[in-house]
């Protein structure tokens, strides 16, 4: 596809990598032009592919040919509809064809292992064990409660009999002894009933447990086989895959990643495919954008229609080589200037700094290169190394509002202690994606984060940590409800889950796709509006408030 004139070149993200030869930082932008092209591709995918599609990353590259024409390339990660190559899409990186037969055989074996794992995870004994365990537990509790009542009655009767002992004549002492002994016999009989119940229970449950244990052991063997098959195939692919950069140099994945194990799927992501293909076709890359489409990713982080940067494990290590030799049509702004944008100081003294955090900016840096931009890193660049800064609390990346930092460790300890003792008063404002009938109330739903489904949180009455939120309806705006939230605890995603869960308000916050909002909007409509605390030195009450931007 050919494009005409230059469009909007505002940058929303930089693909970055260190050149392995010069050590220079190389960068390729994601611009609004590229995002608009990607959104057109989203529409194309939604028209040609059904709902419930397996989620995956897609990408577009805006490039320029040797004659100055604008060209759009598109790519998908891994396989699409079981195929690695589809007309109109960028082909896979050279090398896959060399291991195509081995790949086909391995994928068939992996499919059989997957099916067997599903069957083993769904054996009838699992459900039967769960149901019968609950039934037996309920019956045993009833039995214990009944026996406890009988025990209390016996104790009362014993006390009564013993109290009357001095009044009884000698000939009646034998009858008293017999009565007490009968009470002891009743107690022993009830213990035997419980013992027999447990024996009968174990006769039913132990065979089920054995069947489940055998299935689990077989699953572990199958999972080990699956890892070994995948590792072998990936090693073959890494040796066969050959990447080309814009200097015309070629390297296999194994040559580029010489240390540590390479993750599964390296070389199959959109960004390496697009850049490799552009280099082989003598195209100049101008901008690139990648997005997720289909069901959410297993960890719940990637959501349909959202843009994402280069993945840390599979793409980021290749960026420096792939961008080497690239001829740029414009110079990107210096990192220092880019990093200083979009934050506002709302309070500052010798001990504390408060920031009006914009949405889509991390509170503190992440572990990897593409998550280093944050309020803390920008503050450190802004103030230099004159004094250290310590984050006192966090706001979600998508949430805007007041964020507090300490300028020394004593202040950090003091304010952190106020947070822990729940002496700090926080007020949030949000727009819900529907109409709320209730005027005010208290939500008390414990939250738990499944380690296999991060960062998503869920209500869990057994494993969850106490989570309490006060709310008040401020008004209705069209089909939305403006809400004031006062969190009495500080759990991850607390307000978002308490809003979306049917046991809470049952209405997701507007823009919260992670928790079910389907409305098209530019941001999460959640804002930390007010913060009240005692100053760590003066002990005066500090009340901070900033306007709500929506």
Please identify which of the residues 396, 408, 444, 460 carries the catalytic annotation: 396
Q: Which of 221, 270, 213, 264 is nearest to 93 (CA)?
A: 270
173-240 vs 100-121: helix axis angle to the nearest 10?
170
Per domain, the residue ranges of the chain are 2-94+243-323, 119-232, 335-545
How is the chain split among helix, strand and coil, in percent rounded to 5? 40, 25, 35
> What is the separation of C-alpha 437 from the centre of its chain, rounded to a whole number of angstroms?
31
Strand, helix or coil at 168? coil
Residue 396 annotated in active site:
yes
Which tokens sit at 507? 């209405």
Cis bond leading into 455, ω under 30°?
A: yes
pLDDT score, position 433: 94
Q: Measured between alpha carbons, how far apart are the two ends of the chain, in Å?
A: 38
Which tokens sit at 291? 């997005």
pLDDT score, position 171: 56
Q: Which of 420, 125, 58 is nearest to 270 (CA)?
A: 58
Which tokens sit at 451? 């380690």
> What is the separation of C-alpha 527 from the centre of its chain, rounded to a whole number of angstroms?
20
What is the C-alpha to C-alpha distance for residues 138 and 154, in angstroms, rounded to an integer? 24
pLDDT score, position 327: 56
In sequence order, the 6+-apart residues with CB closer than 8 A to the CB of 448 are: 457, 458, 459, 460, 463, 464, 465
How many residues are given for the chain?
Answer: 550
Cβ contact 4:25 at 8 Å: no
Give the count of alpha carbons within 13 A of 278, CB side only: 31
Q: Which of 69, 68, 67, 63 is nearest to 90 (CA)?
A: 63
Strand, helix or coil at 317? helix
Q: How would you class 484 by CB atoms within 10 Å of its CB: exposed for 0-12, middle for 13-18, buried for 19 or more? A: middle
> What is the separation of C-alpha 413 from the centre of its chain, rounded to a whole number of angstroms?
29
**Can you spell out the DSSP letters for 255-273?**
HH--SSPPPTTTT-SHHHH
Residues of the chain with pLDDT under 50: 1-8, 329-341
pLDDT score, position 76: 94
Q: Which of 367, 361, 423, 372 is nearest to 395 (CA)?
A: 361
Please tell me the CATH superfamily of domain 335-545, with its number: Pseudouridine synthase (3.30.2350.10)
270-280 vs 316-323: helix axis angle to the nearest 10?
10
pLDDT score, position 7: 40
Q: CA triplet 90, 92, 97: central angle to 5 degrees?
A: 140
> What is the separation of C-alpha 195 from the centre of its chain, rounded to a whole number of angstroms?
46
Strand, helix or coil at 24? coil
């Amino acid at each position: 596809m050919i494009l005409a004139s230059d469009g909007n070149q505002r940058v929303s993200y930089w693909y970055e990598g260190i050149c392995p030869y010069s050590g220079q930082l190389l960068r390729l932008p994601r611009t609004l032009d590229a995002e608009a092209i990607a959104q057109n591709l989203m529409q194309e995918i939604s028209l040609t592919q059904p709902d419930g599609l397996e989620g995956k990353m897609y990408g577009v590259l805006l490039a320029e040919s040797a004659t100055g024409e604008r060209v759009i390339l598109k790519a998908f990660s891994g396989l699409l509809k079981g195929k690695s190559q589809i007309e109109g899409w960028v082909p896979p990186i050279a090398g896959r064809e060399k291991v195509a037969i081995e790949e086909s055989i391995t994928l068939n074996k992996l499919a059989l292992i997957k099916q067997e794992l599903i069957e083993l995870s769904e054996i009838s004994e699992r459900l039967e064990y769960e149901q019968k365990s609950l039934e037996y537990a309920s019956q045993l509790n009833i039995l214990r409660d009944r026996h406890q009542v009988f025990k209390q009655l016996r104790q009362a009767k014993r006390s009564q009999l013993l109290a009357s002992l001095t009044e009884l004549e000698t000939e009646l002492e034998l009858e008293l002894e017999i009565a007490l002994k009968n009470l002891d016999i009743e107690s022993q009989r009830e213990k035997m009933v419980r013992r027999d119940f447990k024996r009968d229970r174990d006769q039913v449950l132990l065979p089920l447990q054995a069947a489940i244990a055998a299935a689990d052991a077989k699953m572990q063997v199958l999972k080990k086989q699956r890892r070994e098959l995948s590792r072998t195939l990936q090693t073959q692919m890494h040796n066969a895959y050959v990447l080309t950069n814009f200097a015309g140099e070629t390297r296999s994945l194994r040559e580029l990643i010489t240390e540590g194990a390479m993750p599964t799927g390296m070389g199959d992501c959109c960004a390496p495919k697009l850049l490799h293909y552009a280099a082989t076709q003598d195209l100049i890359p101008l901008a690139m954008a990648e997005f997720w489409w289909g069901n959410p990713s297993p960890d719940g982080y990637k959501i349909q229609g959202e843009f994402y940067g280069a993945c840390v494990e599979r793409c980021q290590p290749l960026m420096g080589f792939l961008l080497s030799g690239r001829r740029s049509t414009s110079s990107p702004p210096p990192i220092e200037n880019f990093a200083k944008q979009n934050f506002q100081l709302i309070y500052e003294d010798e001990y504390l700094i408060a920031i009006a955090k914009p949405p889509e900016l991390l509170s503190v840096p992440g572990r990897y290169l593409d998550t280093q931009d944050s309020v803390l890193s920008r503050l450190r660049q802004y103030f230099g190394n004159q004094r250290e800064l310590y984050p006192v609390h966090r706001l979600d990346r998508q949430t805007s509002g007041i964020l507090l930092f300490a300028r020394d460790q004593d202040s950090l300890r003091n304010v952190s202690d106020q947070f822990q003792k729940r002496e700090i008063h926080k007020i949030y404002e949000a727009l819900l994606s529907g109409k709320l009938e209730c005027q005010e109330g208290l939500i008390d739903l414990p939250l738990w984060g499944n380690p296999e489904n991060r960062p998503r949180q869920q209500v869990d009455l057994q494993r969850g940590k106490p989570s309490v939120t006060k709310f008040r309806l401020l008004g209705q705006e069209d089909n939305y409800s403006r809400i004031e939230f006062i969190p009495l605890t500080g759990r991850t995603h607390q307000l978002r889950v308490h809003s979306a869960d049917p046991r809470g308000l049952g209405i997701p916050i507007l823009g919260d796709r992670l928790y079910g909002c389907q409305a098209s909007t530019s941001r999460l409509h959640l804002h930390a509006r007010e913060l009240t605390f005692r100053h760590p030195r003066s002990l005066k009450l500090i009340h901070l408030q900033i306007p709500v931007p929506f």
